[in-house]
Amino acid sequence: MSNNAFSGGASEALAAIFSLSGPVLTENEISLFREANPFGFILFARNCKDPAQLKALVRSLKETVGRDCPVLIDQEGGRVQRLRPPHWRSYSPMKYYGDLYGDDPEKALEEIRFETFRMAEELAEAGLNVTCAPVLDLLFDGAHDIIGDRSFSGDPDVAARLGLSVCRNLLRAGVTPVIKHIPGHGRARADSHLALPRVEAPRDHLNALDFEPFRQVAMSEVGAQVWAMSAHILYPELDEGLPATLSSKIIGEVIRSDIGFDGILVGDDLDMKALDAYGDVSERALISLKAGCDLALYCAGEMANMVKLAESLPKVSPETLKRLQNAEKSGKVAA
């Protein structure tokens, strides 16, 4: 399905996704990115002013590292879309499709296919080849609204069916999806941007509900091509001491084994306050990579932190390279 061949040159790349300060690259950013060679980049609204500017920026990022590297963006629809009117379309939140699915499943699938292709068209036009969507977290009563209508549904089968449709159709359009926030953010009663949430649910409840949408996508024919983003959440039933992003136990036993996800795993943004107790950004990044994340994601665009990351992080691991190669093989078969 997807034509993204990210493994080329990846063995020499830093195991990181970097960010930038504004709509054009500064001289310092160009110098750092050329020297550090991060695996990819992520863009935010501060980087996206209009289609011509965005296309030029994405091209310049790829030129700095000398390859068609991943360039990520959060384009979910609803509250979370970095590309907005008047230059780009507005999209419905995912809960709209979940609600519609309850009344008319075929209509919901037809609409979400159409909207996914429209979104992918805008991304591909800009040269953006990875989008941090869809959200597979479930909707739970009493949870913090940081997820809210970003979720398809409280029903894991509905979330899985609609999420899988989004993944398939993004891949068909040449855009790699990033399912989030594995193994499940939906029950959290705090915003991980601001604090470390605790999810106290028993493991069997998590397994039956929260893990299920991720499992269904991971076990599908596109599972090897999809990326996932981990949750900065403490699950005492899974690991008493470390949040998922930093936990080798959760990544190994739950994400890789119970859920069966074997694609590229990216930790959520290292600069979020949920991780404040675990050292500075570079220390958090190293812990996450040692725990089993493939890539460390840094979103704030601050030069000093990216310099630290460049100095301390390893290159992409052989395991990550194998996952990238498996994704490419799977894509050729699916096409």
- Give the residue numbers annotated as catalytic, written as ranges: 193, 268
User: Domain residue spans in the chain?
Assistant: 10-334
pLDDT at 4: 81
Q: Are 183 and 156 in contact (CB under 8 A)?
A: no
Residue segments in the chain with a per-residue pLDDT below the cut of 50: 1, 333-335
pLDDT at 331: 86
Six-digit token string for 239: 């690991």
Q: Are 249 and 239 in contact (CB under 8 A)?
A: yes
pLDDT at 118: 97
pLDDT at 333: 46
The fold of 10-334 is TIM Barrel (3.20.20)
Can you tell me which residue has the tokens 């009563």? Answer: 141
pLDDT at 2: 55
